[in-house]
Amino acid sequence: MKKAIIFIIPLAILLSTGGKKEVKSNNPFFNTYDTPFEVPPFEQIKAKHFMPAFIKGFEDQKREIKTIINNSKEPTFENTIKAFAYSGQLLQRVSSVFGSLNSANTNDSIQAINRELSPISSKHRDDINLNDTLFKKVKSVYDNRAKFALTDEEKKVLEDTYKDFIRSGAALSNEDKDKLRKINKELSLLSVQFGQNLLAETNGFNLIIDKKEDLSGLPEGVINQAAGMAKSLKMDGKWVFTLQVPSMTPFLQYSDRRDLREKLFTAYFMKGDNDNDHDNKAVIAKIAKLRYERSHLLGYDSFADFVLERTMAKTPEKVYSFLGQVWKAALPVAKAEAAAQQELIDKEGGKFKLAPWDWWYYTEKIKKAKYDLDDEATRPYFKIDNVMDGMFYVANQLYGLTFTKRTDIPKYHPDVNTFEVKRDGKHIGLLMIDNYPRLSKRGGAWTGSFRGQSRDINGKMITPIVTIVTNSTPPNADKPSLLTAEEANTVFHEFGHALAALLSNKTYPGGSLPRDFVELPSQIMEHWVLEPEVLKVYAKHYKTGEVIPANLVDKLVKSGKFNTGFVTVEYLAAALLDMEYHSIKEPVDINIREFEQKAMDKYGLIPEIKPRYRSTYFNHIWAGGYSAGYYGYIWCEILDADAFQAFKETGNIFNKEVAAIFEKEILSKGGSKDPLAMYISFRGKEPGIDALLENRGLK
Ligand SMILES: [Zn+2]
């Protein structure tokens, strides 16, 4: 649910050697990749290669644009839109590697390059988007679109290209274009700064424990994990908990030490809000203000109006009304959950009021009493390799895909596992999976790509190279990686995004799904995780191989609707906060702490719950492309709950006919069709909100 997904500029690039012998450059980006499936040769790529490749990439694309502009013939789809769609291939080639590494395996050099690059990229994009002659040509093709015989995909590419130009300011006066350029440059720098501050803040705190008695309540697995973390930080003999979710959450669930829970969780929710060198308050206040100014220049009332125009929801009113309906259903449930916890605290003789750092601890206790279930009891059945086998099995049953581990393919980090994906013996693409936290990786889980599926300019198929990056519980000296049921769910979720990227079948490069549709392929995969037919295939005890007992599964399923008031409310609070920042209708200097408090008070968020992301570490909306779009996860839940029913209704969760229609109408389309039309082609009708509320036990 809370996973970020970033599609890192999916475009394929094959440098043509034109049949001549290629003269090898010492910069790998300038050569044909001499590797299996032309995977980037990671071991040859050094930080010093990026900047020269970017610079040449900018120059190449400028030259390609010039060719389009200087063409004296009447503008056509072929000589303008198609030529534009295929421009900038070297740039995509280097961007996809740089972007992926900057998120999953960064270092000081990459971060320095990113700071230097960001304003140059922003200027390059503006030079194209604000180019008057180019825009006139695009507009001419768009205005005369009835004259051209175009495929449905081409019609969508043309419309998107035209609208992208308008939305980037192509129709503005020169004076306003200059203002826009300034804003874009500033925004590009601010989002880099936000991300770098956040990484520093996340890595800047450790809860170090040196007395055994301070580990009270923690299960053995959690203690070993913390000992391993201490060792890796050269603090042998101690125990370390970090602000990474897989390290922090078990501590909050199990530690009897209320003071230490408070210390750890406070450090988490104060990230970026410590009035130090890495404080993000001023950064995000500037971002919110500049985003408003930008949308105002472009003729919109607010940034949310600007963003939502291109989504399924279309308007802020629609989003607010939808979030409001779910909030109304969820808040009373969360309040009842808080009351039940307070009751337990009182019964135990604790003379304090439930606080945010208590929530996980008492939830765990109540869950244990109610369902006789705790995370540690199920972990042994969710060994990460088994979980991956499970998701591969589902993809095989539904879509006939096979996944074969390949060890001969370059990887950007030793933790990466690479699989070749085939169907009927035919190569479909590669999937790289990178599961464990490290200091060089940002938090969360996401799906990206080193190469997106498309066809090259001559129509030849380019197969995708897709990546799944997570921060799952790592193995330690005694145990392999054993996941919680929620972590297993996350892996299935990202795999759903990966399937959409792998089964994409379009012609033109680029294009992406709107935020309030992109979570349909991922969230629908979550429905298979706990299906008994799937569990019996993969959920096997890592030592004995015994399949997870039916009564444990029953408990898992029943407890799935437990604590959903909290889960829904903490998510909705963040989604509403996102909407509030992006609905401002004047250029105000926001006081972040006040703004956040006021926004939450307005909806009546109870003090025992913090928004899933507070403002200063809300990467999704300040740097992750989810601005005015974080609501998309729960919006998509309407779709995935209803779409999974299409399988259920047939009495067969592996119904191949339904899967074939889902692939054809949804997965294969990428951004090449209107989302609502896509959904209706699949299901025959629009979905309602009921399946979502039912799913969450909020009805
Ligand atoms: Zn996702």
CA of 443 to the centre of ligand 1 (A): 14
What dihedral do alpha carbons 213, 215, 220, 226 form, nearest 10°? Answer: -130
Cα angle for residues 313, 185, 83 (degrees, 5° grid): 70
pTM: 0.87
Which of 293, 337, 364, 494 is the catalytic position?
494
Burial class (CB in 10 A: 0-12, 13-18, 19+), 191: buried
Q: Hey, what are 280's tokens?
A: 């993000």
Cα angle for residues 532, 538, 539 (degrees, 5° grid): 70
Say whether 494 is catalytic: yes
CA of 515 to the centre of ligand 1 (A): 9
* Distance separating alpha carbons of residues 200 and 215, to the nearest angstrom: 27
CA of 207 to the centre of ligand 1 (A): 30
CA of 497 to the centre of ligand 1 (A): 7
* Distance separating alpha carbons of residues 84 and 131, to the nearest angstrom: 13
Name 405's bridge partners.
419
Residues of the chain falling short of pLDDT 50: 1-19
Task: State the pairing for strand pair 465-469/446-451.
Answer: antiparallel
The neighbour count for residue 78, using CB atoms within 10 Å, is 12
Q: What does R_g of the chain's alpha carbons equal in angstroms?
A: 25
**What is residue 13's predicted lDDT score, i.e. its pLDDT?**
35
CA of 9 to the centre of ligand 1 (A): 16
* Distance separating alpha carbons of residues 641 and 216, to the nearest angstrom: 40
Kindly state the helix (H) or strand (E) to which residue 224 belongs, with its residue range: helix 220-232
Residue-wise pLDDT tens digits, 473-495: 999 888 999 999 999 999 999 99
* Distance separating alpha carbons of residues 653 and 267, to the nearest angstrom: 43
**What is residue 24's predicted lDDT score, i.e. its pLDDT?**
86
CA of 470 to the centre of ligand 1 (A): 11
- Long-range pairs for 650-655 at CB < 8 Å and ≥24 separation? 653/527, 653/528, 653/531, 653/533, 653/534, 654/394, 654/397, 654/398, 654/533
* Distance separating alpha carbons of residues 209 and 457, to the nearest angstrom: 59
Listed residue (165, 151, 157, 142) closest to 65, CA to CA:
165
For residue 588, give the DSSP letter.
-
Cα angle for residues 654, 657, 658 (degrees, 5° grid): 70
Distance of CA 477 to the CA centre of its chain: 31
Q: How many CA atoms lie within 13 A of 504 on its CB side?
A: 36
The CA–CA distances, whole Å, from 457 to 135, 401, 493, 593 equal 22, 27, 33, 51
At a CB cut-off of 8 Å and minimum separation 6, what does 306 contact?
167, 294, 295, 298, 300
Q: What is the DSSP string of 41-91?
A: -TTT--HHHHHHHHHHHHHHHHHHHHHHHH--SPP-IIIIIIHHHT--HHH
CA of 614 to the centre of ligand 1 (A): 19
Q: Name the 3-class secondary structure at 366.
A: helix
Listed residue (41, 47, 13, 37) closest to 410, CA to CA:
41
**Helices (runs of H) and strands (runs of E) counted in the chain:** 27, 9
Q: Hey, what are 180's tokens?
A: 């826009």
**What is residue 161's predicted lDDT score, i.e. its pLDDT?**
96
**What is residue 673's predicted lDDT score, i.e. its pLDDT?**
82
Q: What is the DSSP string of 472-526?
A: PPPP-SS---B--HHHHHHHHHHHHHHHHHHS---SSS-----HHHHHHHHHHHH
Kindly state the helix (H) or strand (E) to which residue 235 belongs, with its residue range: none
What amino acid occupies position 61?
Q
* Distance separating alpha carbons of residues 602 and 584, to the nearest angstrom: 15
At a CB cut-off of 8 Å and minimum separation 6, what does 42 contact?
410, 411, 412
CA of 209 to the centre of ligand 1 (A): 35
For residue 381, give the DSSP letter.
G
At a CB cut-off of 8 Å and minimum separation 6, what does 379 contact?
221, 473, 482, 483, 484
Kindly state the helix (H) or strand (E) to which residue 550 belongs, with its residue range: helix 550-559
CA of 461 to the centre of ligand 1 (A): 26
CA of 245 to the centre of ligand 1 (A): 17
CA of 280 to the centre of ligand 1 (A): 25
Listed residue (138, 162, 169, 148) closest to 75, CA to CA:
138
